[in-house]
């Protein structure tokens, strides 16, 4: 392994942690990718972005120039988010964006739970096949257990048996009172390390062990 390369949303970015909470201008050095890189004794490239959806995470993976010895960890975001990819920009559609006309129309007329889940599993599987084709080692994580649908028989993706939301509730939050705090990020990285590099523990429907 030469580098740890990570993708995700604010939960991978380390939103509102002690070194970036004023502007969230850069990924936090206290976010879980940095802690995991320290455990692995390798440098880290944190490609996460605030507010991102899984379609944009896929877009970033497909367009990233990987080295052959990279190991990739992806913490997939919430499946109820969406985006519109344009030639020169990406427009986020989020359920919290109440003042955004496009977001309001999308959730009123287009979004439904089943379609959103199905679509997001397409993103996850395409990312898996893309990385597999390049022989890039990769591990996928889900923020919440209920984001995983084991009923999709065509799905080829396994998720590590640990969920950040379960860890987050055990420690104080970040500066905004909502996002995972610094202790949560450190503990999450430790559990990732233990489960993957010592147990190879993937979620199969049973309750995850913290």
Whether the pTM exceeds 0.75: the reply is yes
Burial letters for 175-202: b for 16+ Cβ neighbours within 10 Å, e otherwise? eeeebbbbebbbbbbebbeebbeeeeee
Check pLDDT > 70 for residue 207: no
C-beta of residue 70 within 8 angstroms of C-beta of residue 136: yes
Q: What is the C-alpha to C-alpha distance for residues 169 and 151, in angstroms, rounded to an integer?
A: 27
The token duo for 59 is 């877009």
> Burial level of 70, CB count in 10 A (0-12/13-18/19+)?
buried
Q: What is the pLDDT of residue 188?
A: 98
User: How high does pLDDT run on average in the chain?
Assistant: 94
DSSP 3-state of 167: helix
In this structure, whether the domain defined by 3-199 belongs to CATH 3.40.50.1110 is answered with yes
Q: What is the pLDDT of residue 74?
A: 98
Per-residue confidence at 208, pLDDT binned at 50, 70, 90?
low
C-beta of residue 61 within 8 angstroms of C-beta of residue 133: no
Edge-to-edge order in the sheet of strand 70-76: 44-46, 3-8, 70-76, 137-142, 159-163
C-beta of residue 114 within 8 angstroms of C-beta of residue 151: no
**What value does the mean pLDDT take over residues 43-65?**
97
Q: Which CA distances in Å does 36 have to 46, 83, 141, 191, 194?
A: 11, 29, 14, 9, 10
Q: What is the pLDDT of residue 133?
A: 97
Sequence ranges of the domains in the chain:
3-199
């Amino acid at each position: 392994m030469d580098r740890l390369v990570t993708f995700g949303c604010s939960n991978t970015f380390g939103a509102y942690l002690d070194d970036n909470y004023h502007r969230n201008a850069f990924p936090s050095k206290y976010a879980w990718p940095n802690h995991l890189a320290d455990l692995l004794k390798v440098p880290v490239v944190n490609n996460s972005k605030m507010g991102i959806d899984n379609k944009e995470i896929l877009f970033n993976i497909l367009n990233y120039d990987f080295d052959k010895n990279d190991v990739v960890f992806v913490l997939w975001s919430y499946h109820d988010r969406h985006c519109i990819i344009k030639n020169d920009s990406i427009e986020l559609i989020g359920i919290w964006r109440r003042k955004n006309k496009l977001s309001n129309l999308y959730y009123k007329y287009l979004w439904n739970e089943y379609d959103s889940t199905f679509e997001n599993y397409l993103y996850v599987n395409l990312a898996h096949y893309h990385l597999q084709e390049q022989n890039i080692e990769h591990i996928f994580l889900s923020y919440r257990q209920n984001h995983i649908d084991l009923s999709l028989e065509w799905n080829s993706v396994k998720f590590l048996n640990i969920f950040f939301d379960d860890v987050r509730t055990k420690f104080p939050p970040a500066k905004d009172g909502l996002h995972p705090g610094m202790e949560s990020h450190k503990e999450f990285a430790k559990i990732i390390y233990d489960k993957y590099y010592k147990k190879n523990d993937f979620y199969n429907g049973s309750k995850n062990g913290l």
